Chains A and B, each alone.
Chain A
Amino acid sequence: MLEQKMQGRAFVFGKNIDTDQIYPGRFVELTDVADVAKHAMEGADPDFVKKFSSGDLIVAESNFGCGSSREHAAITLKSVGVGAILAESFGRIFYRNAINLGLPALICGKGLAAKTRQGELLRIDLDSGKIFNEQEEGIGWLEPVSEYMLHILRSGGIKPLLKKQFTNEG
């Protein structure tokens, strides 16, 4: 479910982090969520899962999640408990997959990754769209999320919404 205020440690990445880095192709045959969760970000940082705690954040430059359509990339990040991904832009299929799972993929202003230290505690205020560091300095801003996406995120993803629809019809 989408929280209006979030905070977590930042795991900072560069631009064009593709879905092969987020979730390597050789593991795509895995289908159990617990197995999928073991390989989060393995192609970019083999120790990511060891260091990451639920609620932490991913901060990246542009085009995060470009490449393959594998939903595993969004599933693995959701499963390890990523609080939100803050990136300057997203690969479009990854973006849809993340929103569908209720994983906040938030578009931020340019330069946030450069201003953020690895492991730094960030605080996000969705009401004001501002991002603060540990010193409470405003170091970035978020693009407003469209009503349509907010509706999906607040519902915990598209599946509960569709389920409601099918239950009502049934």
Chain B
Amino acid sequence: MHALEKILAQKAGKTSVKTGEIVNCTVDKAGINDLYLQTVRSFHEIGASKVALPERVIMFMDHYAPASTSLQADNQRRFREFCRTRNVGYLMDVNEGVCHQVMADKGLSLPGELIVITDSHTTTHGAFGAFGTGVGATDMATILATGKLWFRVPEIMRIRIEGTLPKGVYAKDVILHIIGRLGADYAVYKGVEFAGPVVGGFSVSERMALCNMSTEMGAKATYIHPDAVTLDFLKSRASSTYTPVSTDADFTYAENLSFDVSNLKPQVAAPSSVDNVFDLDEYAGTSISQAYLGSCTGGRLEDIAVAASILRGKKIAPGTRLLVVPASRQTLLDAVRDGYLQDLVHAGATFVTPSCAACLGTHQGLLADGEICISSTNRNFPGRMGSTGAEIYLGSPASVAAAALEGKIVNPLKYL
């Protein structure tokens, strides 16, 4: 069996599972996001009153952190009340940051676990060798009420990333390239394992970017085998003991793909779909109104560090806005400690408190009709960051910082 299958089997109390089988699994970590008060509504609608395994439930006030309308504030108030009356294990309030990064920072995402969150980018947790998957509000209500949820055991494909990554090219460029080649629906309903020397050389931060963006080709879950990099990251952070799960040597993948990235150049996903991917050079010179550095894809310390290295001692182009949104409170603290916040604010950046912010077009840095943004986030759908008349290019944090400096899309290599 594959590690992802073994996780589902274990959580269903079975010795083995087959592709396509429906299994009912006990969930290790169940995360709710503040966007979805429907979770509480559905919980009541199905007649539940007690949360089955409250110590496993984590409430994240991340998408509306802090609330920008009284309705958002009211939704958050109701969630806090629900947490208090149901003894919910963790309340990550508006001062903590984006759920996936908070999970990583606090060692809550662990190898071998089944992690379910009401956020589509829960595939991120494959970076730790966990089975992470996103669900909607009513599925989450089912987990709250019963501790369990049904899953269809997915087909599992493996993507090997071969070669040596050139300077100026990052995990974000790699995953954009892969999604561009395969298409936005290539991995729908499937499990995706990333392997090969480039993945082995990636930091935890880069692995998270890779697994996070896999949602944009439809993946149900991802997996990177936990290695020394994973275990070293977890050494000082793990919130509890854990048992990594490995794939059997004789496992047959539904599909084996391989990408050699030795000659890869910086990539962009041009408006308005994530699989509309080209070499960034093809769009060099495109004027931008806003550069956005943030989110569960591209708002980690390494992302802020590379932006600071490009912008230190310089000023962003007149008429251009640079929004910097650290993924979590820990990321913000680290950015302050290392002087990156100072560097970026001097360069003209606007800092936003750790949250999802404008990534999903709800608040804090939205785009006007006709504006163009380059962003280190994960989606460039029509209207995603504000007006449907705005255009979004997705790129690496380095590409975002270089564009802020020149006021137009530019290959970041010359600044590295």
Contacts and interface: CB of A to CB of B under 8 A. Distances in A.
A26 B119 contact: no
A152 to B, nearest CB: 10
A68 B275 CA distance: 16
A71 B362 contact: no
B383 A21 contact: yes
Given A20-B382, A43-B382, A101 B138 contact: yes
Given A21-B382, A24-B361, A69-B118, A92 B47 contact: no
Contacts of A68: 120, 360
B257 interface: no
Interface stretch (A5-13, A112-120, A137-145, A160-168): A160-168
Contacts of B38: 31, 71-72, 75
B188 interface: yes
B383 A97 contact: no
B185 A66 contact: yes
B212 to A, nearest CB: 14
A74 B136 contact: yes
B137 interface: yes
Interface stretch (B69-77, B80-88, B165-173, B321-329): B69-77
A144 B69 CA distance: 45
Interface in B208-231: 218, 220
A6 B268 CA distance: 43
A29 interface: yes
Interface string A91-110: 11110110011000000000
Among B45, B150, B381, chain A packs the most CB atoms within 10 A around the CB of B381
Contact of B120 (A43, A93, A159): A93
A89 B188 contact: yes
A163 to B, nearest CB: 5
A9 B373 CA distance: 38
Interface in B95-150: 118-120, 134-139, 142, 145-146, 150
Given A20-B384, A63-B184, A71 B142 contact: no
A85 to B, nearest CB: 15
A21 B188 contact: no
A28 interface: yes
Q: Dominant SS at the B interface? A: loop
Contact of A71 (B64, B138, B379): B138
A69 B185 CA distance: 16
Interface of B: 22, 35-38, 41-42, 45-48, 63-64, 69, 71-72, 75, 118-120, 134-139, 142, 145-146, 150, 184-185, 188-189, 218, 220, 273, 275, 360-362, 379, 381-384, 388
Sorted nearest first, the 7 A-B pairs with minimum C-beta distance are: A63-B185, A97-B136, A25-B361, A162-B46, A166-B47, A71-B136, A71-B137
Interface of A: 15-16, 18, 20-21, 24-26, 28-31, 43-44, 62-63, 66-72, 74-75, 89-94, 96-97, 100-101, 146, 148, 158-159, 162-163, 166-167, 170
Given A92-B189, A163-B45, A166-B47, 20 more contacts: A16-B273, A20-B360, A25-B383, A28-B63, A28-B362, A29-B71, A29-B72, A29-B75, A29-B362, A62-B185, A67-B381, A69-B134, A71-B38, A72-B38, A89-B188, A92-B188, A93-B134, A100-B139, A162-B47, A163-B46
18 contacts: A16-B275, A18-B379, A26-B361, A29-B71, A31-B38, A31-B41, A74-B136, A89-B185, A93-B134, A97-B137, A100-B138, A101-B138, A148-B150, A159-B42, A162-B46, A162-B145, A166-B47, A166-B145
